[in-house]
Each structure stands twice: as structure tokens, then as C-alpha cells.
Structure 1
Amino acid sequence: MSAAEIKQSALARFAQDGYEGASLKHIADDCGIKKPSIYAHFSSKEDLFLQVLADVFERQKQRIEDYFEEHASLPLEAQLKGFVVDWQQIYERDAERKFFLRMVFFPPSALYDDVMNLVYPFLDEQEQKLSRLLAAGCPVQGRIIRHPRQAAIAYLTLLDGIAVEMLYGGEARTTRRLEAAWPVYWSGVSRER
């Protein structure tokens, strides 16, 4: 059994049961190995969890980059709102996305600092990339964002609110919030035409 296969089983357990609820015994059972075999690859449950989480952050980062590359020809507003809609749709069907959001908002208390050491650099990098995107404008309308850095921060704040609604309110409530908040966000950050 490889470390990658163990991490895949661990991800499923952590996503389903949380850090506290997942046990190395259940992860080993899911892999068809004995619990001590996990220690050939990971020093502890904490080590396994943090490696799984680091991998998840890398994949989420890549998914974000892929989304914006695939939609680069769309008007900027369509790219940005489409990303939120896409994020919501993937959340509804993807255990990894659910795990990611839960850990960003509710890290295990025993690992809070370790998790935040992943979260803050991730958020800072996304803010920088988004600021550059907003400053560049869009293929159709050019530079239409008044204050790109502020607009990036506001966008991430909007995403936070939508993500919380995903975690607690469900799909219908999330969609309702997005539809109400989006026009306010967009009119606040874009130049008058």
C-alpha cells in the first residue's frame, strides 16, 4: 500500500468524519492493511492529516487556476460570477471541496496553527492573483475595475459569505444570497460605462 493510497482513504474518512472522528484503524481497514502499516509512511494521525490537507490545498489551487484559464475569453463579470456558481456546484457533489471548506472555516482545534499556516498563504496568493486579473481587465471591455486590490478583497469576502451559506444553508439559500449580493458587488467595483 502506497502513501498516496493511504492518503486517498484518509481523505475520504476525514471528509466524512472530521479529524476528531476519523481513526487510523478505520483508515487502515479502508485500505485493507493493519494500522501499524500506516506508520511506515506517516508518523502520526496528525502527520497524515496535515499531508492530506496540504495535498487538498494544492489541488484546489490548481482547480482555481484551471477555471480562470478555461474561461479567460469571457467578460470579466462572467468569469467572476461563474467561478462562484462553479464553486457551489462542485461543492454539492465533491467530498474534497466540502472537506476543504470545512477545514478552512473549522480547523481541528488541536491543529489550528498548522492549518492556518496553510490557509493564510493560500488566501494571500489568491488575493494577489485576483488583483492582477482585475487590474488587467477583460478581453471585451478592458480595464473596468476601479480599485483592483480592494475589489479582490471584496470578492474574497463575498466568497466567504457564500461558502458559509454552502456549509449551513444548502443550495437554494446559497443561490439566493449570491443573486442578491452579486449586483451590489459588481456595481461597487466596476467603472461606470
Structure 2
Amino acid sequence: MNRSDQILTVALEHFADKSYEGASLSGIALQVGIKKASIYNHFNHKEELFLSVAKHVYRLYINEIERTLANHHHLASKEKIFIITETMTDFLSNEEEGKFYMHFLLFPPLHLKDKVHEQFLQFEHECDQLLSPIFEEIASTYEISHLSLRDLLDAFYCLLDGITSQMFYYHPDIALRKRQTSLALFWTGVINTD
């Protein structure tokens, strides 16, 4: 791992645990084992480091989706949706990446809100590109013409957000039960709507 990646990894932990305001470049540098001034060799200021961490988390998330799709390309669309839902909600409920993603997506630092939102829209566009073929296959296989691709993706993202929130609140066994039930009802609703 190169120095920039080390800084990003430690900064992710600090931002997730201490918030944007609570995280300090001094604390990050100390944990990395460098002087605070050395951070500036890689990132111009705290805002740039934060936005780089956000981009890093998005990239980790996209990589996880790509890996899951590559490993399960042979499955039918229903099984793909179930597995990708598990992958995405497991990632988002991960202690550091998930905490960072869920907190700063909903409550970014005010002065970085527009930049965080811009990054998120780019990330969602990448997710759309990865997931669209699955939902196109579902629409074709089950002759779903009354819902657009955008409708299906929007409903799916809302499902993911809801499941992920539940995974933070409940004991893992209860959260997994809720995930399975929600996903089964989502599937039934999509397939059986008129």
C-alpha cells in the first residue's frame, strides 16, 4: 500500500469515527506514522482529503459490485438481484466504509455538500450502468413493460437504503430476516404489478 492509500485508509477510520469536524490531520498523520506536514505532499487540505476518502469509498463499493457480478454472471436475474442486494447491504453496513457512506451521504459537511452530492451522482451513474443489464433482463424475462428501467432502479435503491438502515439498528439475525423478507416482497411486487 502506497503512502496516499495509507493516509486514505486511516482518514476513512477517523472521519467515520470522529466526524469531519472531529477528525484532525494531526491524528491521521500520527496513526500513519508521518508528520502532519507530510499529508500535504498528497492532499492539499482537509477538504481534499475528505473528498478523496468519499471517492475511495465509492470506488470500493463499485469494485465490490463488479466482483459480485463477475463471480455470479451465470445466475438467473432473480438470483443476481438477491446476491447483489446482500453484497451491497453488507458493504454499507460495514463498520468503517458503511458508517462513512451512510453518515456523509445523508449529512455531509455543509461547505462540501454540493461537491459530495456531485460525487454521489457520478457514483450512482456507475451503479446504474452495472445494474441496468440485470433489470433489463428481468423486464424482458417477466414481460414487465409498465415499469421503466429508471422506476426499477429507483425502487431498488430505496430498498437498499432501507435494508441498510435496518442493519445498523437491529441484531444481525433480525436484520438478516428483515433483509430477506424485504427483498422477497420487492421481487413479488415488481413481478406482480399490473
**Which TM-score bucket, shorter chain as reference?**
0.7 to 0.9
Q: Which segment drifts farther, 154-163 or 76-85? A: 76-85
Aligned residues: 189
Q: CA 1:39 to 1:48, structure 2 compared with 1: closer, same or farther past 3 Å? A: same
Give the C-alpha shift of residue 8 in structure 1: 2.1
Partner of 1:44: 45
Question: For 2:7 and 2:130, how far apart are their aligned partners in 1?
Answer: 33
Partner of 1:129: 130
Structure 1 residue runs of 4 or more that deviate by more than 6 Å after TM superposition: none
Give distance in 1, aligned partners of 2:93 and 2:124. Answer: 22
Distance 1:86 1:145, change over 3 A: farther
RMSD: 2.5
- In 2, Cα distance between equivalents of 1:50 and 1:160: 22
Q: For 1:101-120, what aligned pairs fall within 5 Å after superposition?
A: 101-120=102-121
Once residues 148 and 73 of structure 2 are traced to their aligned partners in structure 1, the CA distance between those partners, rounded to angstroms, is 17
User: Structure 1-normalised TM-score?
Assistant: 0.83
Give the superposition deviation at 1:49. 0.9
CA shift in 2, pair 1:145/1:171, >3 Å: farther
Instruction: Name the counterpart of 1:181.
Output: 182
- Which residue in 2 is equivalent to 1:97? 98
TM-score under structure 2 length normalisation: 0.83
Unaligned runs of 5+ in 1: none
Could you tell me how far 1:50 is from its partner in structure 2?
Answer: 0.8
Is 1:144–2:142 an aligned residue pair? Answer: yes
Superposition deviation, residue 17 in structure 1: 1.8
Alignment identity in percent? Answer: 31
| Matching residue's letter, 1:34 | K
What is the distance in 2 between the residues matched to 1:30 and 1:178? 36
